[in-house]
Structure 1
């Protein structure tokens, strides 16, 4: 279908494209987060510490943070469908390179290549989803696509972690590379072409709208910073609480599953009470991380508190994406780039902060550090009512 022929419609009319974006998002998140589940195994095999291995998340996120906006601007006139497909090819190459890496340097290079693909993927996919539907359906469309991210945590990372523990972490990355290659064909068949939006976004009040977009992006970065200060080292945290290594995959599966509750909650309310949704999710996220710190290293208490943590974070991506799009401070693609970039500033920075905490005070302090940062994000939302309004 030529790009000019596509008219934004309802969720039902855009179902094929939304499914394609959801599947691609599932693989994008699985690719980004897989090192978290097999981090101790990679460290043992390559011969580096857990804190150094955690920097594989940092280098990936750093590439996204630095390149998301410039790559999005420089490819504004490139076919949206072709560009999205090329990012999935990039994920395929990245995972294949990691699977055969002989040393940490090559491993980091493979992750950096994946980070370049990721810099474009979410920038394009967020704008893509918003262009598939009419404005009244934006929140639900983004929640559907974000469900792919939740599914990455629910199934992708846990299953890959279990495979990595059973057959080796290299096998996990190799299988993921194969699935990414198949998804290229799936996306080519199912995803309709849409017109791009260029790089300009003007009109009355554009300065105020850009300010609101900047506030949303800042809050997004801070919340992700807090989340990934802890989540990057969740396998280390679980092992420290007495969980056997074979149990990490199933536990991540359970945490991802409860994350779907947060995704569902956000999707059901974002087009009606967006401010209420973000306040509830960030409040629960902060309290849950504090609870993890209080009960650690008791395994039962850690798992129970982590369930609330996982549920709350499941809805975070869709609330910030939707709030950013609704500021109308830039084109959907540039908004997507900013959301993508700031999220990965948080992911990479969180991994670095977590590594410092782990190497210093120890694993028991990770949840408190994460909670303090999420609380800062919550305060930003409380103060910035115009950036996070009560109505769409």
Structure 2
């Protein structure tokens, strides 16, 4: 069993538990469960082991709860969670199969058993950058692999089946450096590539649509793109939000922006800020906004630790959600509970479909026009106007799939 270090930073006295040779600290917390956020830092060393093997920090709101680290990690660069609360960590440089090269691997952290275990690894993966969880149990990973007689590297989307077996989902010379992936719908992925020269436009960077059939099409490219990093499905279920680490679309001297890309490929500026320095990772929120990790900003406080998680509201307003923690060194990954599952508009119970069970939840949340929806019911406010009314019901009807 691989050793796991997990440390709580609650101020209450913790109870030290020994289970199957695994040391950790567990704290009983009163009150209802809260939505946790996880920040993966590829160079942090909170365990004091020496070196820069990385760690994952867990937060309740902006409060640091604990850190998670494993001696097996070398470069934990991305994270995602499933509906059961399991945390999947993509390590871009570990070599659990002893290949002699940084093939990378996916590890799973069980929040109940407090164990980090190897979930998936392959001799054929290389330079893995991001992962996204689908509702059917598959995990999609962007990276590169050798292809052809000369072993030339090409961009790849790998797929991990529910048994942890990795295979190539799609590989294409259209890809150059795929950096982010999101599940748009069952059988459909959105992939961002930071250096793809798509469509003969001369623009660098592109957003691709990838189907289970293997079909790849350019969804969007733009003169605004400079260094595409990540993509998520927006709360409207119809468009996508893309983080760019260097774009300055309004020529304000800023570093980085968030773009909205419609299903038809139209690109618009969703958010930019003088606080941005290297926005690199996105997570959608039920309130219509997103969490945005910036790995380089000091948030206007020179000399402090680098890295901030911003909240970007549905209207594009930017505020600080999680300030940098002293232990951060190079934060690059972001996840929240349930963020790795398919964000299907209308799926109110998180099981991947929109059926009568979701309609029951919708009925309980229905309040009518101009009646503010309570916080737990914001998930049913599909048009982000702060109420749950007939307009939201119309959106629910359009997205109704039935049980599957």
Higher relative contact order (CA 8 A, sep 6+): 1
Q: Looking at CA atoms only, which structure, 1 or 2, has the larger radius of gyration?
A: 2
More helix by share: 1
Task: Tell whether the structures are fold-level matches, with TM greater than 0.5.
Answer: no
* Alignment TM-score, normalising by the size of structure 1: 0.28
* Alignment TM-score, normalising by the size of structure 2: 0.27
